[in-house]
Amino acid sequence: MLPTFGPSHKLQLTTPTSLDSTIMSMTSLWAPVPKPSSRLARYRVLSPHAGVHVSPLQLGAMSIGDKWEKFGMGSMDKTSSFKLLDAFYDAGGNFIDTANNYQDQRSEEIIGEWAEERGIRDQLVIATKYTTNYQRGNDAIRQKASYTGNNVKSMYLSVEASLKKLRTSYIDILYVHWWDWDTSVEEVMNGLHVLVQQGKVLYLVSVPISMLTGTFVNVYRWQGISDSPAWVVSKANQYARDHGKSPFVIYQGAWNVMLRDFERDIIPMAHSEGLALAPWNVLAGGKIRTDEEEERRRQTGEKGRMLTNPSWERNETERAMSAALEKVAKEVGAKHITAVAIAYLMQKTPYVFPIIGGRKVEQLEANLESLAISLTPEHVKYLESIIPFDAGFPTSFIGDGKQSSLLMSNAGYFEKQPQDKPIVPDVE
């Protein structure tokens, strides 16, 4: 018999059997969730300043809808859109990226209807954007000047419209879609803060990425920024800190293995500000493909997004990079070169959440392979040798901070503090 003390402070006796039963009950109550077979269901913290947990890849929803087919964007009706969204969710995905204007507003509408029908709204982290004229296709509105730009009126009109289309009382992440050069940093940051003061936000997280402003009616809000100069983001976050406003926590912009301008100022700024990174155009507008895939498209007439890539066939440089990706894919045992291209971005720097688009479930499944690929430094060096990148001045003069510059090293031997490293998939 084992002695224990109860609430009455009198000695009590507990049998080993009852003790074992109690321990087993507690173990069952707090039993850890088994590691999911789908790596998309292995969630990560968004950024150093935003503790929400998201899937490592985002589903880009620019193709969801049927209003932009005439512009070369393809077409996804409600049925095919639901099928893609279901596949993403069933694999563990909870992070969806859309915008107020995508597919002339149909993207937000379909996502809202899908989440409502499935009853899963609160399980999702939905990012949307304001700034672009979302009333472009609405002929009933003759004057559209109030529906674009970073200004406060555009902000509020867009947020209210997005809430209705998404059928929700809150937006998880709201981006400033692009910098309009007309609105001041002060107006933008003050306008976002007013949304909080009006009671449309319960939980405010400091999120530093491309002006992503998460505005939620009576719920969470994260701010982010997209397609804007690094100095604008730094200035905005400093203003927020100085005046008790909410800073940005995530930055969204174009980045892929062939287009690395992102690495010049954006990534160093993100490190300094504690922002996550949400790269789009990760597959170079579909230009990352094998020779076999290109020939198949030539035979079938499938040309992809003609709006962003009117010249759908690859040039010599793009073919060279695709061949290099194919070589690396064979070395790491990957089936798809697109997966290698995505893995490259995720293993360059921490807090990277690539936006993957496409209209087919097969494309989604191919891209998910990126989460199981582990690249070596030699792989990265080889890929980057195909298209040399010049960071330009002042990096060419003072370095990038990863090691002591010549201007420092002549005074002594300095050991640099290692930078944070990205998550690299384990071998299973």
User: Are the C-beta atoms of residues 230 and 246 closer than 8 Å to each other?
Assistant: no
User: Are the C-beta atoms of residues 352 and 422 closer than 8 Å to each other?
Assistant: yes
User: Are the C-beta atoms of residues 331 and 379 closer than 8 Å to each other?
Assistant: yes
Q: Which DSSP state fits 415?
A: P
Among residues 101, 114, 30, which one has the least CA distance to residue 71? 101
Among residues 111, 127, 114, 131, which one has the least CA distance to residue 177? 131
What is the DSSP secondary-structure string of 143-204? --GGGSSSSHHHHHHHHHHHHHHTTSSB-SEEEE-S--SSS-HHHHHHHHHHHIIIIIEEEE
CA angle 418, 420, 423 (to 5 degrees): 130
The CA distance from 113 to 119, in Å, is 10
What is the DSSP secondary-structure string of 250-312? EEEEE-BTTB-GGGTTHHHHHHHHT-EEEEE-TTGGGT---HHHHHHHHHHT----TTT-SS-
| Structure-token pair, residue 203 | 């939980």
The CA distance from 111 to 128, in Å, is 11
Q: Which DSSP state fits 70?
A: G
Among residues 255, 383, 272, which one has the least CA distance to residue 327? 383
**Which residues are CB-contacts of 418 (< 8 A; sequence separation ≥ 6)?**
none
The CA distance from 211 to 167, in Å, is 23
What is the DSSP secondary-structure string of 205-253? E-EEBBTB---BTTEEEEEEEES--HHHHHHHHHHHHHHT-PPEEEEEE
Catalytic residue among 43, 89, 102, 134: 102
Count of CB atoms situated within 10 Å of the CB of 412? 7
User: Are the C-beta atoms of residues 165 and 109 closer than 8 Å to each other?
Assistant: yes
Rg for the chain, CA atoms, rounded = 24
Active-site residue flag, 220: no
Where are the strands (E) in 34-155, listed by range? 44-47, 50-54, 58-60, 95-97, 125-130
Active site residues: 102
